[in-house]
Every structure is written in C-alpha cells, then in structure tokens.
Structure 1
Amino acid sequence: MQFLKNISLKEYLTMQVDVQARKAVKVLSEADIEQLWKVYRHELQQALVIGGGSNLVITASPDQLVLLMEIQGIEVVHKEKKVLLQVAAGVTWQHFVEYCLNNNYGGVENLISIPGKVGAAPMQNIGAYGVEVKDTIQRVKVFDLTTGGFDWITNEDCHFGYRESIFKNVAKDKYIIVAVEFLLTTSDHTIKVSYGDVQKMLFERNIHEPRIQDVAAVVAAIRASKLPDPKELPNCGSFFKNPIVGVEVFTKLHARYPEIPHYSVDTEWVKIPAGWLIEKAGWKGLRKGKVGVHEKQALVIVNYDGADGNEILNFSKEIMKDIKQKFGIELEREVNFV
C-alpha cells in the first residue's frame, strides 16, 4: 500500500472537482485492506472509497481516510462452454471489456466505453444498450468492515435493480468490494442489438451477422459521437436515471406529448428517457456559470471551468425542480454526492 497526505483528488474524479484529501491510501492488494483494518479499524469503517471516480462528486474536502482502489488482476477460474473470471476491483472497466473481446468472451460487449473500474460495476449495476452487468455477475467478493474478513455475495443476494444494489443502500457502509466474478460465454454468444442506433450502424457498415467485436465497435462509436471524453470535458456520464412511471401517469403525458419516447417495463410501469425530458424542458446545451448540460447529450452535466461540487449539486437541483414542475416527474440522480 502507499500512504499519501494532503493530495488533490481532482485526477481521481472524472468530474475533476478539486478537493483535498487529508489522508489517502492507494490499496494495491487484498492484504493491504486486512492490514489497514488491523491498524486503522475505525478509520477504515468511515473511509471514502474511490475507484474510477466516474460516478462521484465531492462537495467538500473529506476529513476521513480516502481509499484509492488499485488492486489488479484478471484470473480464469474455470473454462468450458462458459468461462468464469475473477476480476479485481481496481481493474479499469474498459480494460476488462477489451480483455473479454480479445479472448472472445461474450456478455459485456454492449458495456464498452463505460468509464470507471470493475469494483463500481455491481454497486451501480451499470448498464447500456440493452445489457446490465447483473446479467453476467456470479458473485461479488467483499471485505466485511464489521468482521474484518472476506466474504462472497451471490448475484441473488446483491438485490440488483435499475442502477441499484445492496451496495448503494442497505450495505452501503458495510463492505468494500475487492473483486467480481463474471460468467461469460466462449461460443454461441447471445448478440443483443435491439437498440435502433446499434441496428442502424451495423446496417450502414454492412454487417448482417455481427460478432461480439462488431457490437462493441458500433457501441463505442455511438458513445464517442454522443458523450464527451471526461479527460477533455469533465463529466460523470449519465447524470440521472431514466424515470419509471405508472401507466396512468404515462397516459396523461402521452396525451400532451404524443412524440414522447418510452419503453414498457411491464403492464403497470413505463420507462421514459430522462434525456428527452431534460431536452424538452430546454436544458440541452444550457450553461450557467461553470456548469452546463452537454450540447449533444442532455443526460450529461459537464464541468466547463473548474466548478466545485456544490455548484454541480445546485445545478442538478435546478434541473430536477424544473422537470418536476413541467412534467410532474421526479428525476433521481445516478451520480453519488459526498
């Protein structure tokens, strides 16, 4: 492990908010966590854990210990018709997806180009283009901050939901995620290209029987055309969850806005793209001071000029209030504020 004092966390956060950490530790192995628990048990229980920092905005310099997760490694646990991989929490998500593509392991190709690290994937139940990471996760390895030992949590016990898991709510401060097990296909892959943009680009590229590598290339191209690179324009990707509303609420909205895009969840619930609501309300491309909504993607809030966490928080509150007033829908942030 590596101890750091009074460092800026700007480079560890994709929104690039410049806050100072009084004490930080780069965690390089599972043994590091065990050692920290033995010596700094109380501080570890209160620690702020940062992986890729792609879904986090910090509003003030943290006084607590900051853990920078850097544990590396991808291990093939078992391989026959399917392959079971154990992937360390500090592996970048992009590296993991590219590893799978290079080895022809299918299941995560639609999730290419999502920023962050593997450890955050189950926490958020990340998803894109018809796929959620819960579909491939077998178990999550955690360090239990109560007992000081490691444990495995099954997919079922993670209670995955739409951008949700126990790690975001009931077990938020109980565990540190150290590794994730994925079960992926080695052949006869299930190709998921239901999204119109994906189908359209595959057709334009004259690809009629796409491989997982083709799907990944198309998804990467679509994301690059719509989403700003955090290294060039600081952002956290999708800032809000797509709201799910009752059929009665949707019916009234549809009467007012016949063009509203929507996706049926079941007979009682309908999902509406948050980006459409934000754009329809006039926020797309709008900038206030140092913060704004991206000109190409209304779901993305960007930090144009060194905004602090509170400026970003207040800007998001304005959007949420406006959407509530205009559509009667309460948006929920996908991004975590600390």
Structure 2
Amino acid sequence: MIDKVRLRMAEEGIDALVLRPSPDFRYLGGQGDGYLVLPLRGPLEAAAGPLEAAALIPSSARRVGVDPEMRAWELFSLRLKAELVLASVALAPLRLLRGPAEVAATERAASAADAVLLMARELAWFGTTERAMARRLWAMMVEKGCEEVLSVLVAAGEHSAVPRHVPCDRVINPGDALLVSVCGRWGNHCSEVARVFAVAEPPEDFEAMYSVVLSAQRAALDSLRPGVTAAEVGRAAQEVVDGSGYGRYAAGRLGRGIGLGQDERPWLVSGDATVLAPGMTVCVEPAIYLPELFGARVADVVVCTPAGAERLSGSSQALHVLDH
C-alpha cells in the first residue's frame, strides 16, 4: 500500500505527508493519538506532536500534504515553509477502492449497527423523550464495542421531517412516526443504519410514503454496479421519488461513500462522475420529509461487487410497529 501512496505522491509532486488522527491517518495504519509522517523517500514514522512531526519532514521538501482535519494551531506549529496541499489529493483516489479485509471490516461495522437497531425494537418507547432514547442507544453502541459514536438520531412525529434534527425533550407518543439511526466506528470502519418505526400505529398516509422510500432504495441498489457512475445511481432513486409526486420533498443526497470515514466519495448526487468499481462501499439513504407532518429515511451500507450491490446491513426494512 505504501508503494501505491508514494506513486500518487510523486504524480502530485508531494514530497511528504503529515497526518493527524483521521480517516487518512487510519488508512496508513495510524492508531490512537499522535501524527504520521510519510516522506516520498524514507520510512513511515510516528510523532507525538506537530513539532516532532515537523522534524521528520525532509528539509528539502517543497510541497507537503497535510491532513484535511488538521487544526489551525497544528498547521502553525509545523512551521513549514513548503507549499501546503491537502493529503487527500494523493490519498482520496486510493481510498475509494477497498480490499477484501476492509470490506469485511465494514461489514462487521454494519452488522454491529444493525444489531443495535434490532435491540432497539425491544425497548420501552412510550412516554419517553427523544433525548432519553438517544442516550440509551448511545450507551448500547458503546456496549456493542463501538470505538467512537459519531451520531445517534431519534426523531418523533413532526421532528422526523427535519433532516438534521437534534434529539430533544419531545415526548414519544402513540401515533408517532419514529426515525432512528445510529452511526459509529467499529474496527476502524464506519457504518450507519437508519430504520423507521411507528408507535402503536402508523400515521395516516405514512405507509404509502414509506413504500416510496423503499422503492427508491431498491432502484438505487438495482442500478449500482461496476461501470455505472455515482450520479446514475442517485438518478435511479430520484426518478422513483419524482414519479410518486414526492419529488419536492426528497432529500438532496441519495447516498455517500462510507468506510474509514463516515462521509466520503462517491456522492450519489447529480454531477458526481465517479465510476463505481468492485470494492467501493456506500451508504444508500433515500429520504422524504413532509414538513410539520413526518418523514422517512432508510439507510444501509452496501458494497459494489462484480455482480452488483450487496447489502451489508441486513435487518428487515419493513415498517416495525412498536407496542410498548
């Protein structure tokens, strides 16, 4: 892998990479805190802090790739006179394709997230708050071995129609649509799974709308295969939603890459010409949000294989009615 990285560095005219804890850091084998420095020639070395990292950069370096998540004080601490560029210029194309071990790790992460949402069905939801249930799910993820909880969403009733809702003290009541998602990192790899529940009984017209969301995801999965662009996959899902009459209420993004980071290329949106290939992993997440009423989003991690899309998070997507 290091040889491939150095080849990309040479193509981009980068003399050294400096990485802090991040997806790029983990891609090169970084663990815990600290920094990694990879010169174009010489060994990959670890450093405790930015000053120590700066000492490992060859004095002849004229162009240095820095981690996209590097903070301003870290950049100043490096005290580099070289031109600074993002390390992702070299690493992003390599990280698009994942080997068998990486796909297996992503599958384990997806299975763990899946298991948390399956256990969530057995919890007592009636009369509790979004915030309390989000904390409960957060704890369950940690108990499941999650190394870092990246996000937990619990959105009830009209809040399920708010794409970036933050769980609050809103009480969960019978008749509510309930949107629940968990995103975390297991074994260095990220996964997100989102499911939709109904509390006691679904709201009027909710099931019809939810069926459109499921159909949109199926259309995306049917079109996801090697040689197809990310934009084409997104378009397949969008056409289903548009044809249903819900087009104006659809989420702007139908999915995104996921792996060492939770938001990566490719993006399943119009304009992303990334050609899909075996080994790419994406989170396919169509959603429809009806303001002030309810929303529905289903998210699953899939891998592109020579035969097409393979879903790594395998729990049922059928609308589950919570009875307690």
TM range (shorter): under 0.3
When normalised by structure 2's length, the TM-score is 0.27
When normalised by structure 1's length, the TM-score is 0.27
Structure with the higher fraction of residues in helix conformation: 2
